[in-house]
Amino acid sequence: MPEATTATPTTRPVAHPDAPVPGQHLGEHHEFCFACGHQVDGLRLDIVAAEDLSLTCAFEVTEAHQGAPGLAHGGIVAAAFDEILGALQSFFQEPAVTASLTTQYRKPIPVGATLHMRSRVDARDGRKLWFSCEGRLDSPDGPLAAEGEGLFIVVPRTHFEAGRPHEVTAARSEPGLREVGP
């Protein structure tokens, strides 16, 4: 995974008592989310909690995800990284939004491949959360295809009501879904 920048604190935080436990599937946070929702033609990511403030996910690259012929679109990979990084907020039970996302592409990711992603919490300082991730081809220990870093900012739940509050309310009341914002 990428090394923490000099601006990143070195102390890793402790998870909330209600944080997901290893092996727990996080589920979709709302059914129409492009990255984790299952009612849309999106990425349909199934993110699973792992050890030591980390998450895993296997993303199957299909023809619908290509940019150059036969290869995953870089923006799709960045969207998958944004989702698995953003899902790390579940360890703190607080909503957070992306402030910065950097993706480094190391190898082409072909259509038909499975990108095994792993994200982890690196540090926290107040409202700032530093996360990192990597994507490996066809197995969790396969060749490194991409890696990323993100800075996320904890926000109040009302942040998500700025656009269409009736949809946020509906998503929050849907049984079995992760609450919008964590």
Give the residue numbers marked as catalytic. 82
CB-CB contact of 145 with 103 (8 Å): no
Collapse the DSSP code of 73 into the 3-class scheme (helix H, G, I; strand E, B; otherwise coil) and give the result. Answer: coil
Element at 165 (helix H, strand E): helix 165-173
Residue given tokens 């009612």 in the structure block: 39
Q: How many CA atoms lie within 13 A of 102 on its CB side?
A: 11
Distance CA 100, CA 86 (A): 11
128-158 residues labelled b (16+ CB within 10 A) or e (exposed): bbbbbbbbbbeeeeeeebbbbbbbbebeeee
CB-CB contact of 47 with 33 (8 Å): no
